[in-house]
């Protein structure tokens, strides 16, 4: 009969820098929440065919919290009695209370009320003027309850607070604080118990969750994008670092009493060289996405909702090395992204059980169905916190009379006769490429910076400082670029650069470049009028007539820097720009250069610098005088990104513009004049 395995990937990046400070609280906040939700469900339903993929850097941080070895400013703002909070802690508490999703917010009306009271990020209002002691205490308690998920109403230490929902006392806060402090240790103890259950396996990933194929050699990008042209990316070629990440991760897990036999490669990212590395480390199995198999076989695997039998077979690259299993993307993503929208978790569990039973009936007896996904984030969006869905799903599968058996992936690897795969397409679970981690200008710049630091550290006695291992993690590259927007992206950028600074200090070398310069540029949309029938502006360094810029969209600075405003409009294959400063631009750029960068969504960039001795690229016309006027080639497609900078001053302030073109010949009959 067909075999079913679940792999739950459990991971957080290394938020803690070398000084012991954790710059984000997610490891501690989610310990008693989403991570516990999954582990409790496996315990209560009797684990069968369950694989917990615990990333070493997550386990290390949990144990550090349990031992009191972490300084966490956000946790301190939650745990300190409300009456003792200083002004900085109040601001921290109020700022981080913004990071809850609508499901979490809906459970606690008082939290929604406080969220509406919170000042906007750029507001001059001080949060301690809007929040009294009682409101701050409510915010502390409700923020933890929101992230606790179903533990808020099933854990007897929290249930009374959940039922009350507001007007918490100092005693309530003390009870909650004690619970929160205990969660990292309790979670690790629960994992240890769960690992001993029949039908449960603990696997892992390389230590800090790096994209292994890119560490080994970033030139793999070309093969990953084929047959499409790949973006130009910086060369990073450190196979020793990939080996270090894997071997140190396995060693750490073994020190903690776990004996992994297989891995979820970070982000499902594989290549032939990476698989060879896992084989050398003794790994018996790996899991990645169905898209990788489809690209490897060079033929579609799905016809509508059904998939070819090859997806449900074990494979081995070149007849040797670890068994390769490919997750059913449709069912895995249904758990991760779709069933959380259902209002009845029991019905969702019943529906998935039926889907699995029907699939098993249609497959040959040697088939292996692999469901692999994030084991944390989905439950934050389920109406009841995900626990009921998991318990009922596992219970239904345990009682199923259909031709479907449950097994761990180690059991599958030991019992299966894998097919031979001649070629393995290099890529990840997202679109079967590495575009989420490299190729965008911000992401590629991060690889350049990482490479420069790696080269500076070299192969000396301290060539593998601990902070470098953390900097090589995948998450820092994930949050750069425009594809995964979050208000916390600048923070993650700072953590990445701080790890690099720490690595240089640990290795005893000077940083090879300025690591204080942010990699992440905030973005804001700008609707750009497209007017191909309008005559282009007269480029003479001054606003010759009102009409040449009357059709433009304007962006104004809110700061006191040298750049004051920018105008943009497009037409006939060109983008026309005007940059105005606090004084004459010809004087402001004396000794400095005005830098402009126009990039399209595919990562192709057009860069120019305007200064006394700067040569302009072909097709660019520019005039510098009272203002700077520029015309440069532009396709006029949506999603282009424009950056304008003079020294450290950006226009708009600290941001890039995402250009949204629209036809505008009929919209500007009598535009308002901008002086």
Q: What pLDDT band is residue 544 in, cutting at 50, 70 and 90?
A: confident
What's the pLDDT at 590?
83
pLDDT of 143 above 60: yes
Strand partners, 659: 526, 640
Cα 44 to its chain centre, rounded Å, is: 31
What's the pLDDT at 670?
36
* Short-list 3, 4, 2, 9, CA closest to 372: 9
Mean pLDDT of 215-240: 96
Report the C-alpha gap between 43 and 193 in whole angstroms: 9
pLDDT of 601 above 70: no
What's the pLDDT at 573?
87
Report the C-alpha gap between 219 and 215 in whole angstroms: 10
pLDDT of 666 above 50: no
pLDDT of 44 above 60: yes
Report the C-alpha gap between 104 and 147 in whole angstroms: 7
Mean pLDDT of 25-44: 97
Tens digit of each residue's pLDDT (9 = 90 or more) over 304-344 = 878 999 999 999 999 899 999 999 999 999 999 999 999 99
Q: What percent of the chain has pLDDT over 90?
A: 76
What's the pLDDT at 675?
33
* Summary mean pLDDT of the chain: 92
**Which residues neighbour 289 within 8 Å (Cβ) at sequence distance 6 or greater?**
268, 326, 327, 329, 428, 429, 432
Report the C-alpha gap between 222 and 220 in whole angstroms: 5
Report the C-alpha gap between 505 and 603 in whole angstroms: 33
Q: What pLDDT band is residue 118 in, cutting at 50, 70 and 90?
A: low
Q: What pLDDT band is residue 48 in, cutting at 50, 70 and 90?
A: very high
What's the pLDDT at 120?
53
Q: Are 380 and 103 in contact (CB under 8 A)?
A: yes
pLDDT of 674 above 60: no
Distances (CA, A) of 34 to 12, 30, 179, 444: 12, 6, 15, 32
For residues 356 and 604, the model is more confident at 356
What's the pLDDT at 122?
45
Mean pLDDT of 573-594: 90
Q: What 3-state DSSP class applies to 526?
A: strand
Q: What pLDDT band is residue 558 in, cutting at 50, 70 and 90?
A: confident
Q: Are 287 and 327 in contact (CB under 8 A)?
A: yes
Q: What 3-state DSSP class applies to 365?
A: coil
Report the C-alpha gap between 375 and 34 in whole angstroms: 8
Phi, psi of 146 (to 5 degrees): -60, -40
pLDDT of 35 above 90: yes
pLDDT of 575 above 80: yes
Structure-block tokens of residue 382 = 């389920």
Report the C-alpha gap between 83 and 414 in whole angstroms: 59
184 φ/ψ sector (left φ>0, alpha ψ -120 to 50, else beta): alpha
Q: Are 370 and 288 in contact (CB under 8 A)?
A: no
Tens digit of each residue's pLDDT (9 = 90 or more) over 389-439 = 999 999 999 988 888 999 999 999 999 999 999 999 999 999 999 999 999
Report the C-alpha gap between 241 and 14 in whole angstroms: 17
CA angle 310, 313, 315 (to 5 degrees): 100
pLDDT of 267 above 70: yes
Mean pLDDT of 91-118: 90
Report the C-alpha gap between 655 and 664 in whole angstroms: 25
Domains of the chain: 1-203+305-418 (3.20.110), 441-507 (no CATH), 524-663 (2.60.40)
Tens digit of each residue's pLDDT (9 = 90 or more) over 479-489 = 998 788 788 99
Tens digit of each residue's pLDDT (9 = 90 or more) over 370-380 = 999 999 999 99
pLDDT of 194 above 80: yes
Mean pLDDT of 244-257: 98
Least confident of 233-237, 410-414, 548-552, 668-672: 668-672
Torsion sign, CA atoms 582, 583, 586, 590: negative
pLDDT of 96 above 70: yes
pLDDT of 121 above 60: no
Distances (CA, A) of 600 to 86, 202, 637, 638, 663: 45, 43, 8, 8, 19
Q: What pLDDT band is residue 604 in, cutting at 50, 70 and 90?
A: low
Report the C-alpha gap between 326 and 314 in whole angstroms: 8
Q: What percent of the chain has pLDDT over 70?
A: 95
Tens digit of each residue's pLDDT (9 = 90 or more) over 493-533 = 999 999 999 999 999 999 999 999 899 877 788 999 998 88
**DSSP states along 18-70:** TTSBBS--HHHHHHTTHHHHHHHHHHHH---SEEEEE-HHHHHHHHHHHTT--
């Amino acid at each position: 009969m067909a075999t079913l395995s679940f792999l739950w990937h459990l991971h957080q990046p290394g938020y803690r820098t070398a000084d012991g400070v954790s710059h984000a609280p997610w490891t501690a906040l989610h310990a008693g929440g989403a991570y516990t939700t999954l582990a409790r469900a496996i315990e209560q339903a009797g684990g069968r065919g369950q694989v917990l993929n615990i990333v070493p850097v997550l386990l290390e941080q949990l144990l550090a919290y349990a031992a009191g070895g972490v300084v966490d400013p956000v946790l301190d703002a939650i745990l300190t009695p409300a009456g003792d909070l200083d002004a900085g802690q109040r601001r921290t508490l109020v700022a981080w209370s913004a990071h809850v999703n609508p499901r979490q917010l809906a459970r606690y009306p008082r939290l929604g009320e406080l969220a509406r009271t919170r000042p906007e990020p750029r507001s001059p209002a001080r949060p301690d003027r809007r929040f009294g002691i009682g409101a701050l205490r409510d915010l502390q308690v409700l923020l933890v309850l929101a992230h606790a998920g179903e533990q808020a109403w099933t854990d007897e230490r929290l249930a009374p607070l959940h039922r009350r929902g507001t007007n918490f006392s100092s005693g309530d806060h003390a009870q909650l604080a004690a619970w929160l402090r205990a969660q990292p240790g309790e979670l690790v103890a629960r994992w240890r118990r769960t690992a001993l259950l029949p039908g449960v396996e603990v696997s892992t990933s390389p230590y800090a969750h790096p994209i292994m194929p890119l560490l080994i050699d970033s030139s793999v990008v070309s093969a990953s994008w084929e047959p499409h042209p790949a973006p130009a990316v910086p060369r990073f070629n450190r196979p020793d670092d990939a080996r270090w990440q894997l071997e140190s991760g396995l060693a750490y897990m073994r020190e903690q009493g776990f004996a992994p036999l297989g891995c979820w490669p970070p982000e499902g990212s594989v290549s032939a060289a990476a698989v060879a590395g896992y084989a050398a480390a003794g790994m018996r199995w790996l899991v990645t996405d169905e898209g990788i198999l489809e690209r490897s076989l060079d033929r579609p695997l799905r016809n509508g909702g059904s998939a070819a039998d090859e997806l449900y077979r074990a494979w081995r690259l070149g007849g040797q090395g670890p068994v390769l299993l490919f997750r059913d993307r449709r069912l895995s993503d249904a758990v991760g992204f779709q069933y959380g929208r259902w209002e009845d978790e029991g019905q969702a569990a019943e529906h998935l059980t039926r889907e699995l039973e029907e699939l098993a009936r249609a497959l040959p007896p040697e088939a292996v169905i692999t469901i692999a996904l994030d084991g944390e984030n989905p439950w934050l969006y389920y109406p009841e916190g995900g626990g009921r869905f998991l318990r009922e799903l596992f219970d239904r599968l345990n009682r199923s009379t259909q031709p479907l058996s449950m097994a761990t992936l180690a059991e599958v690897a030991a019992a299966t006769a894998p097919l031979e795969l001649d070629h393995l397409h290099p890529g990840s679970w997202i679109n079967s490429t590495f575009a989420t981690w490299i190729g965008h200008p911000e992401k590629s710049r991060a690889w350049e910076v990482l490479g420069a630091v790696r080269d500076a550290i070299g192969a000396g006695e301290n060539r593998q400082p601990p902070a470098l291992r953390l900097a090589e993690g995948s998450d820092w590259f994930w949050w750069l670029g425009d594809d995964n927007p979050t208000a916390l992206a600048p923070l993650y950028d700072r953590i990445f650069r701080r790890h690099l600074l720490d690595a240089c200090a640990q290795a005893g070398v000077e940083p090879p470049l300025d690591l204080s310069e942010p990699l992440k540029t905030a973005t804001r949309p700008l609707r750009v009028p497209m007017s191909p029938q309008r005559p282009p502006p007269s480029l003479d360094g001054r606003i010759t007539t009102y009409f040449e810029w009357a059709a433009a969209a304007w962006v104004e600075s809110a700061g006191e820097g040298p750049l004051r405003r920018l105008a943009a409009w497009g037409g006939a294959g060109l983008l026309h720009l005007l940059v105005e400063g606090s004084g004459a631009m010809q004087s402001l750029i004396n000794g400095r250069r005005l830098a402009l960068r126009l990039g399209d969504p595919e990562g192709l960039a057009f860069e120019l610098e305007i200064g006394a001795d700067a040569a302009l690229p072909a097709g660019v016309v520019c005039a510098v005088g009272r203002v700077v006027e520029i015309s440069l080639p532009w396709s006029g497609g949506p999603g282009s990104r424009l950056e304008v900078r003079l020294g450290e001053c950006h226009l708009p302030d600290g941001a890039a513009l995402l250009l949204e073109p629209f036809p505008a010949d009929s919209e500007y009959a009598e535009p308002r004049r901008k002086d």
